[in-house]
Amino acid sequence: MESLPEAVLIRILASIPAVDLVLACRLVCCQWKNLVDGAALWILKCQQEGLTGAESQEDAENWQNFYFLSKKRKNLIKNPCGEEDLQHWGEVENGGDGWKIEELPGDFGKEFPREEVYKYFVTSYEWCRKAQVIDLRAEGYWEELMDTTQPKVVVKDWYAGRSDAGCLYELCVKLLSENEDVLAEYKSETVAIPQDNDASWTEISHTFSNYGPGVRFVRFEHGGQDTLFWKGWYGVRVTNSSVTVEP
């Protein structure tokens, strides 16, 4: 192995699972450590596995982080579309007749832009809110990564009204410390959808970056109500909420 050209050795190492490269291979010798810590190996693994965007990374640490973050990327919100009723949602505030789950498009509604989404949550005639708190360490995002690299935390949500009723919508997302101190916060304006709207679905998004060390939790909260105070479920509709940690 010592006589192999470096380019050949990199190709051999690139066939090894990433976790084994970091936990085992880099301990074999100085040469292997330098290759595992360098950029070329991770560039090749990104290319082999079809991970895009790596060309924007500039140093060796970012290449490795880009690979791991790309492989781990997933929606950290559980039950984002109401497939499991209100399971996984906490701090539920059931104003009026409370939250309800309905199937798309719903009365006086429109289909969602993505075929895989076919349910939504709907609010009532007084404020309805619900929240999830995401434990980043439990999801595999270790402290050094969050403190040093500070990967982007991307938040998205979708909302819509009925075409025959006006409604209000709000989104509030907080990055929290170990002791649940607020380190960064995004709060939308109160969105007012008028009666006789077109019932189209609207995406709202925010990206947290350069938020400083110490982030351990993400708290996601959204909600709304109708503006006509009609009994039943004429308030804002929400679905396909997401929180992702990205390179």
At 60 the pLDDT is 44
Question: In this predicted structure, which of 43-47, 50-54, 120-124 has the lowest mean pLDDT?
Answer: 50-54
Mean pLDDT of the chain: 91
Name the band, by pLDDT with cuts 50, 70 and 90, for residue 233.
very high
Task: Kindly report, residue by residue over 209-229, the tens digit of the pLDDT.
Answer: 999 999 999 999 999 999 999
Angle between the N-to-C axes of helices 60-72 and 39-48, in degrees from 0 to 180, rounded to the nearest 10: 30
Higher pLDDT, 247 or 182: 182
**pLDDT for the residue 43:** 87
Name the band, by pLDDT with cuts 50, 70 and 90, for residue 30.
Answer: confident
Does CATH place domain 6-64 in 1.20.1280.50?
yes
User: Does the pLDDT at position 49 exceed 50?
Assistant: yes
For domain 90-246, the question of CATH label 3.20.20.70 is answered with no
- Nearest in space to 153 (alpha carbons), one of 241, 246, 217, 68: 246
Tell me whether strands 167-176 and 182-187 are parallel, antiparallel or unpaired. antiparallel
Cα of 143 vs its chain's centroid, Å = 18
Domain ranges within the chain, ordered by starting residue: 6-64, 90-246
Q: Which of 233, 247, 240 is nearest to 101 (CA)?
A: 233
